[in-house]
Every structure is written in C-alpha cells, then in structure tokens.
Amino acid sequence: MTRGRSSLNAWKGNMDTPILPDHASVTAPCPYRIKVKPLSEEPKNDDPGPNPNLPALCDQMVAKMRCKGSIQTGHPKVIYLDPTKRFDPVAFIVYARDHYSESFPKSIEIDVTESRNWSLWKGPADQLGSSGEEDVDERSSALDRIDVSRIMFETCLNDGEVQIFGEEKMRRLKLMPRIRLGGNAFEGLLCDYHRAREASCLEWLRECCGITYLDFFGTVLRSPWTNRCILYLHWKDKGWHWGWNCCCLDSRWGAGFKTATLKIS
C-alpha cells in the first residue's frame, strides 16, 4: 500500500543520527496532573555517595560510565501520571500551539480544530488506520507513575545491522518483555521539562546518562497522509523539543533512535 508523503525519506550525513526539525524552547505552565518529587533522599554521610573531593566533572563522568542500558545512578525522579487521561493528539496539538508556539514543529501544517487530521492509529499496520483497535500499549496507558531510573532504551538492532525499518523495530519490540512507553509518558516528560527545566527528568537523563533523543513506540499516530508516526523528544539548540511526523514507521531507523521502555516486573 502506498501512503501519502513522509517527512523522513531524505537522509543526509550519518545514517545513525536522527535528522530532526529546528525548534526553540519556551517556558509555559502545565495543565496536566503531573507531580515530580525525588525518588529518594540525598545520601547520608555514611552512604557511599560521590566523593566530595572529586571535581563535579569527574562525578558526571563516573555517572555516565555506570549508565549502560538501564539507568542506575544519580538521584532520579518520579513523574506521576493520570491513567484515566487518554493521550489525545488533537487536544495536545492545540495546547502545544498555544503554549509552546516557538517550539511548534513547522512541519505540522494543519487546522488544529479538525480532529480528522491527526488521530491514534486503529487496526492493522497494512490498512488505512481508521478502524479497529488502537495501536497503543495499554500497559503504558495504565501507568500512574514512571521512575526514570528504570527506563531502558532499545534500538532493536542485531549484530551487524546498521538500520531496520520502523515496522520491523515495532515487531521486535512487541516480542520483548518490555512496556513500550507511549503518549502519556511523552506528555508527562515534556510538561515536566517546561515546568522544571534544569531540574527536570529529561535534563537528568541528558546530564547523567547522555540521552539526547528518545521515542515512544507505545502510541502509534495516524497522520493526515495516513503515515504511521511515533512521538519523540530530542535535545537541540540548548533545549528539549518534540515532534512526531519526522518519525514514520515506513522509514529506516538506526542506532541514534533510542526507544523508551520499562522492564515488566
């Protein structure tokens, strides 16, 4: 089946690195019921915390060395979500245009009042996405909190592979014993960043673990051109930005595209 235009079919430079649109960050209030608090108290004097005699830069380097696969260092935070609130791409795009106007993706040229433009994908991947069950990881939608120290990032590349198509990555993710984080996690992390900035969970991921890009395969969106698209957050120009229609599942995905998951406990 041939779908409409896709904004991620032209690649330049390093194929492992996602090519993302330019945005600028902006501070805005967050209307969502999201609370952020420390996961644990600061280490006591008898705890084996960072050596106070080492420069801060060394502590950061040690933290990054410990952060491989799952995140296991620093003082992470928990974001609290509302599992009764379903991710609505139309409601989100209206809010984002009103509050994050400077960082609003220029590639989304739509009338935000028309719900038919963007929606959740419904039904099989090889159909038009307008009927059937929503392509959503319901385990992610049911989460009332996310401990960012337990997030694991997956590329799904096997040995010797440089890239795979997005649909193959989705198939491999669904076979893993992992929760694919979706729209609720995306929305919670973005709101937390615009409220807390330097003290946000995204900044903790970036500074402690070197994460500058993460996507959310737990929610598949249907674009106005019937592309299957994935939400993502990325760091660029000294700020975190968001997008979706640059990450279509009919495109190739390399090592730079890290998918946020949680191990099933």
Between residues 33 and 140, which one has the greater pLDDT? 140
Contacts of residue 175, defined as CB under 8 A and 6 or more positions apart, other chains included, come to none
pLDDT band at 8; cut points 50, 70, 90: very low
What share of residues in the chain are helix, strand, coil (percent, to 5)?
Answer: 25, 20, 50
Contact 56, 97 (CB under 8 A): no
The per-residue pLDDT for 96 is: 80
Give the whole-angstrom CA distance, residue 59 versus residue 208. Answer: 9
Could you tell me the pTM of the whole model? 0.72
The yes-or-no verdict on residue 81 having pLDDT over 50 is yes
Q: What is the DSSP letter of 43?
A: P
Tell me how far the alpha carbon of residue 72 is from its chain's centroid: 19
Mean pLDDT of 27-51: 44
What is the domain partition of the chain in residue ranges? 36-41+54-263
Which tokens in the block code for residue 131? Answer: 């009927």
Per the model's pLDDT, the better-predicted residue between 47 and 254 turns out to be: 254
**119-120 and 145-147 strand pairing:** unpaired
Dihedral angle sign, alpha carbons of residues 144, 149, 155, 156: negative
